[in-house]
């Protein structure tokens, strides 16, 4: 257990750029951008007034009644974590290239000789990288995203207060505190759903002698293109779209958070009842994915490819 802890720390130390600094810097830039825009808007508003539907407004509080204000507070409490959305895109890219280089780079720079000289098994090395991709990176992004979202919320409330509308009542909304926990509760679903992509990328990383990106992406894409070409010429009745969806899309894109809604029938009715979807509904729908064969077939294949990556690392010669 102590060995695994230090292996995870090693992965964090070596990949702080993608998993910590990149989302942190982007989060800071986003918050500063909104803050600067808000300040400029306030300055312009103080000089020329705020024009809403052709009416000059000096106090936003006069335009919002108690009912609308309650709706605004509820929407902010339920959706403020959505401000962190771009950070999860950064996380997806970071995990993709982390997995792709995880077992290739140490062979390329010969550092595998050092690691193989230590009393650490190949299984421990690979599983530490899997844990970093499926659990460590999402947890770091959730923490950074939460801080970014709170900063966004503070800026919005301050700007609204200066404009005469007090939105600090959002602090009394229960959803303000439960929404991050609901987002965190989606992590097990994400970890299971992302297994096929993580397994495929790590298996290619352990096998490829050069250019792992071309092998990982090119093989399924070229195979899909060839199948589409044969089907167009000979018309065998093959449903090529299933290959593109469940092999190419699922194999390369399963690390995108929430993408399971695009591959299953779960959650298609979210928001159809007239109200905006909140994270409680998204959480419930996400956990329903655990009852689908799509998730478990992908998880089994992902585990099999991770096992193959472990075996490949044992006998693949360095370089």
Q: What is the dihedral of CA 198, 84, 282, 250, to 10 degrees?
A: -20
Backbone angles phi, psi at 52, to 5 degrees: -125, 115
pLDDT, greater one: 13 or 52: 13
Q: What percent of the chain has a predicted confidence (pLDDT) above 70?
A: 87
Distance CA 5, CA 172 (A): 39
User: pTM for this structure?
Assistant: 0.91
Question: pLDDT digit string (tens) for 36-75?
Answer: 988 887 777 666 556 555 556 666 666 777 888 899 999 9
Domain regions of the chain by residue span: 2-315
Going 91 to 37 to 151 to 287, the CA torsion angle's sign is negative
Distance CA 34, CA 231 (A): 50
What's the rounded mean pLDDT across residues 240-253? 93
What's the rounded mean pLDDT across residues 249-254? 96
Query: What's residue 319's pLDDT?
Result: 43
């Amino acid at each position: 257990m102590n060995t695994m802890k230090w292996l995870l720390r090693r992965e964090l130390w070596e990949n702080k750029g993608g998993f910590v600094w990149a989302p942190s810097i982007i989060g800071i830039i986003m918050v500063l951008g909104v803050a600067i825009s808000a300040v400029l808007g306030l300055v312009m508003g103080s000089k020329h007034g705020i024009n809403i539907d052709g009416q000059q407004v000096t106090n936003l509080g006069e335009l919002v009644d108690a009912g609308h204000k309650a709706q605004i507070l509820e929407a902010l409490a339920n959706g403020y974590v959505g401000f962190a959305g771009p950070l999860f895109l950064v996380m997806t890219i970071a995990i993709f290239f982390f997995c792709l280089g995880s077992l290739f780079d140490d062979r390329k720079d010969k550092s595998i000789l050092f690691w193989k000289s230590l009393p650490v098994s190949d299984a421990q090395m690979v599983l530490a990288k899997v844990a970093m991709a499926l659990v460590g990176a999402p947890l770091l992004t959730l923490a950074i995203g939460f801080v970014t979202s709170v900063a966004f919320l503070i800026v919005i409330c301050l700007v609204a207060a200066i404009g005469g509308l007090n939105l600090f009542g959002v602090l009394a909304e229960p959803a303000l505190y439960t929404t991050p926990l609901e987002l965190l509760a989606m992590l097990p679903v994400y970890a299971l759903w992302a297994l096929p992509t993580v397994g495929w990328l790590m298996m290619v990383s352990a096998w490829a002698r050069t250019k792992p990106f071309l092998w990982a992406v090119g093989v399924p894409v070229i195979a899909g293109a060839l199948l589409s070409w044969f089907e167009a010429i000979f018309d065998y009745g093959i449903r090529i779209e299933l290959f593109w969806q469940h092999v190419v899309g699922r194999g390369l894109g399963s690390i995108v958070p929430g993408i399971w809604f695009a591959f299953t029938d779960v959650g298609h009715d979210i928001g159809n009842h007239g109200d905006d979807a909140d994270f409680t509904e998204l959480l419930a729908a996400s956990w329903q994915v655990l009852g689908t064969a799509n998730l478990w077939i992908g998880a089994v294949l992902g585990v099999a490819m991770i096992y193959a990556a472990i075996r490949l690392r044992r006998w693949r010669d360095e370089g």
